[in-house]
Amino acid sequence: MRLRHFTKRYETAAQVAAAARHHAWLTEHARPLRLPALTVVGPTSLTYEWIDGRPAWPEDLLTLAELLGDAHGVAWTTDLRSASLNTPHRFRDGIVFGDYIGPRQTALRRRLEQGYLPDRVALHAMLTLLEKTAEGPTAFYKDSNPRNFIITEVGDVYTVDTDDLTLAPMAYDLAKLITTLAMTNGPLPAPAIDSALHAYNEAAERHAPRLGTTDRERLDDFLALHAVLNAPYAGRNGYRDSWTARPCTRGSA
């Protein structure tokens, strides 16, 4: 049987090096995540093994929440315990993880320029919310949208598109998954979101009790940030719906 591969191309050698480094870091420090093997590193491309499967669906949320909690717990215990959310994370060969605050401050200001925030008062509110959430143990953010997971016919889960990593609080990436699942498939029931958060916390706290303390109010803060940060993608890339408020309060459909 001939093995199939997927080649991803980049504009610069620096982007290739960063993407390969991120893949290696996740392989070492986020072992619960299963990544396609990186087989060839070219001057402007990376080649991976091809994985047959489908993107994540809402019914996968519980499984993926547990997977993310486990992966974030492992990463914290093996490398991120001393990392600060406000300082880029350094590898031996340079800075490759962006910090949590800086890139998102820039993105929120851009959302005002693009018209996704009504005025500077709204921008100030979002920047204040961002600052409020910049506390607690440090995890990594890898953009957990439905298309960045491949689920095989036998139920194995592969994580793909890991080029860009930043630091983030625990459960921030779970909120990205919840937001983008809803943007892709429509609103998610509040009990499903509560169950996903519980599964995430249980998986994370197996590595250290303090890692499993994200409550629903804090998750809603993350969801509010993601609603604004992801607003430009509504109607694109498979996102058929927008999510512009706190849509998943308790008791909602």
pLDDT of residue 94: 66
Q: Mean pLDDT over all residues of the chain?
A: 91
Q: What is the CATH number of the domain that holds 102?
A: 3.90.1200.10
123-162: b (≥16 Cβ within 10 Å) or e: beebbebbeebbeebbbbbbbbbbebbbbeeeeebbbbeb
Phi, psi of 118 (to 5 degrees): -70, -30
Residue 34 within a domain: no
Confidence of residue 252 (pLDDT cuts 50, 70, 90): very low
Instruction: Classify residue 183 by its DSSP letter.
Output: H
Predicted confidence (pLDDT) at residue 253 exceeds the cutoff of 80: no
Q: What is the pLDDT of residues 11-60, one digit of tens each?
A: 999 999 999 999 999 999 999 999 999 999 999 999 999 999 999 999 99
Structure tokens given for 90: 């350094």
pLDDT at residue 171 is higher than 70: yes
Terminal-to-terminal C-alpha distance of the chain:
47
Against a cut of 0.85, is the pTM above it?
Answer: yes
In a domain? residue 19:
no
Token pair belonging to 79? 């490398």
Q: Tell me whether residue 173 is in a domain.
A: yes
User: What pLDDT is stored for residue 1 in this prediction?
Assistant: 46
Residue 99 within any structural domain of the chain: yes
Cα 168 to chain centroid distance, Å, stands at: 9
Tell me the pLDDT tens digit for each residue of 108-135. 999 999 999 999 999 999 999 999 999 9
189 lies in some domain? yes
Note the pLDDT of residue 244.
45
The total number of structural domains in the chain stands at: 1
Nearest-angstrom CA–CA distance, 196 and 174: 9
What is the pLDDT confidence band of residue 2, given thresholds at 50, 70 and 90?
Answer: low
How large is the average pLDDT for residues 216-236? 93
Q: Does residue 48 belong to any structural domain of this protein?
A: no
114's tokens: 């693009």
Q: Which domain holds residue 209?
A: 54-233
Are the beta carbons of 203 and 66 closer than 8 angstroms? Answer: yes
Q: In 31-142, which residue ranges form alpha helices assigned H by DSSP?
A: 61-75, 101-114, 120-133
Question: How far apart are the C-alpha atoms of 202 and 136, rounded to whole Å?
Answer: 17
Dihedral pair phi/psi, residue 89, rounded to 5°: -85, 130
Classify residue 126: in a domain, yes or no.
yes
Residue 198 inside a domain? The answer is yes
